[in-house]
Amino acid sequence: MSETSPRLRAVLEGIPTYKPGKPAAAGGPASFKLSSNENPYPPLPGVMESALAAAGTLNRYPDMAATELMNELSERFAVPVSHLATGTGSVGVAQQLLQITAGPGDEVIYPWRSFEAYPIVVRISGAAAVEIPLTPEETHDFDAMADAITERTRLIFVCNPNNPTGTVAHRDELERFLDRVPGDVLVVLDEAYREFNRDLDVPDGIDLYRDRPNVCVLRTFSKAYGLAGLRIGFAIAHEPVATGLRKTAVPFGVSQLAQDAAVASLRSEDELLDRVASLVTERARVVEALRAQGWTVPETQANFVWLRLGERTTDFAEACARAGVVVRPFAGEGVRTTVAEVEANDLFLKAAEKFRQEL
C-alpha cells in the first residue's frame, strides 16, 4: 500500500467536526434529549400520512424543483417562486450561501457564541471567520459587527433568535445595522426559531428582505414544524442569490418525503402552532422557575434556555445527565437546554435546583 494519502484542502485542518447533541441514554431511568432543540411532539397524523404515501415512490427521484412546496411557500409568504430555494436543512442552505459568496481571501462576520455550524461552513469555504462577541446581555453587538465590515466582507450571519442564548434583535437596531451594510454584502437572517418568538419588537425577516436585495432569510421545518429528521429548510432571497442557491443545490437533495411532509405541515399549521404555543407556555414556566432558584437567565424567544455557567458547565451537564436529561454543554461557557415535554422540563428544573443548592 502507498505511504501517501490524497492531498486534501489545507482549510480542513482547522475545521471542527459538527457535534450533534448527545442522544438520550438507552434504558435505565427516564431519559430525555434536551440537547438539539428538537420538537418533542411526534409528526401530526396528516403529516405522517403524506410522508408514508411518498415512501411508496422511493424508487423515483424527487421533484427537483420542489414545485408543490415552492407554490405553497410562495403563497404563504407572498414571495415569488423565483425568490425561494430549498436545501437539506437550513444548515445545507447556509453552506450553499457560503459557496455562492465567499472563498479564500474573503471574510464572513457572525456573532459569537452563536449557531455552531457557522464556523464550520465558513471555514469550509476557505473564507476567514470574523467572530464578534455577544454583548454582556448575550445579544448581537451590531455596532461591532458593522465596524468589522471591510472590503473583503462577503456575508454576515444574524441569528434571530440567537442559538444558544435565545436572545433577540429588535427592529430598530437591526434596521440601523442593515443600513450600514454595503449593498454588495449578503446579510443572512437565520430565523430557525422564528415561530417561538413572542416579542412584538422582533421584525419578521421577510419584511426586511422585501426592499433589500442583499438580505436573505433562512427558515427551517426542523424546529416548530417538527421535521428535523427529514432535513428540509429554505431561503427567501432576491435574485441572483436565489438563483445561485438553485445552482449549488445537491441534485435531488431534498427527498419527496421531506417535500410532501413540509407541504402537509404548512397545511396543518394551526395545529402545529398550537403545539408551539404550549412550548412557549412551558418556556415561561421554566424561565420563571430557574430565576426563582436564583439563576440568571437571559430573556429567550426560542425553544431553549441558556445558562452561562462558565467553569461549572461540564459539571452541570453531568448532573443533568444523572437526573435523566441530556443538555447541551459548551465547555467553559454555558449550557443550552431545550424546552420540551413537561416531564422532561421538571426533571431539568429539579437537577438545576439541586446543583444550585450544592454550590
Ligand X SMILES: Cc1ncc(COP(=O)(O)O)c(C=O)c1O
Cα separation, 227 vs 247, whole angstroms: 25
Q: How far is the CB of 116 from ligand X (least distance, A)?
A: 8
Cβ-based nearer residue to ligand X, 142 or 355: 142
Q: How far is the CB of 145 from ligand X (least distance, A)?
A: 16
Q: Which of 159, 174, 168 is nearest to 116 (CA)?
A: 159
Q: How far is the CB of 23 from ligand X (least distance, A)?
A: 15
- For 241-288, the DSSP string reads HHHHHHHHSPTT-S-HHHHHHHHHHHHTHHHHHHHHHHHHHHHHHHHH
Residue with cell 443550552: 336
Residue 335 CB partners (closer than 8 Å, separation 6+): 306, 307, 309, 313, 316, 317, 320, 327, 328, 329
Cβ-based nearer residue to ligand X, 39 or 256: 39
- Which of left, alpha, beta for 258 (phi over 0: left; psi -120 to 50: alpha)? alpha
Cα separation, 38 vs 281, whole angstroms: 16
Cβ-based nearer residue to ligand X, 323 or 335: 335
Cβ-based nearer residue to ligand X, 38 or 346: 38
Q: How far is the CB of 3 from ligand X (least distance, A)?
A: 39
Q: How far is the CB of 215 from ligand X (least distance, A)?
A: 16
- Grouping H, G, I as helix, E, B as strand and the rest as coil, residue 226 is coil
Q: How far is the CB of 89 from ligand X (least distance, A)?
A: 3
Cα separation, 226 vs 260, whole angstroms: 14
Cβ-based nearer residue to ligand X, 156 or 323: 156
Phi, psi (5° rounding) for residue 332? 80, -10
Residues that bind ligand X (CB under 6 A): 37, 89-91, 115, 159, 163, 190, 192, 220, 222, 228, 233
Residue 242 CB partners (closer than 8 Å, separation 6+): 82, 83, 84, 85, 235, 236
Q: Give the CB-nearest residue to ligand X.
A: 89
Q: How far is the CB of 222 from ligand X (least distance, A)?
A: 3
Cβ-based nearer residue to ligand X, 142 or 196: 196
Cβ-based nearer residue to ligand X, 163 or 214: 163
Q: Using the 8-state DSSP alphabet, how is residue 302 labeled?
A: S
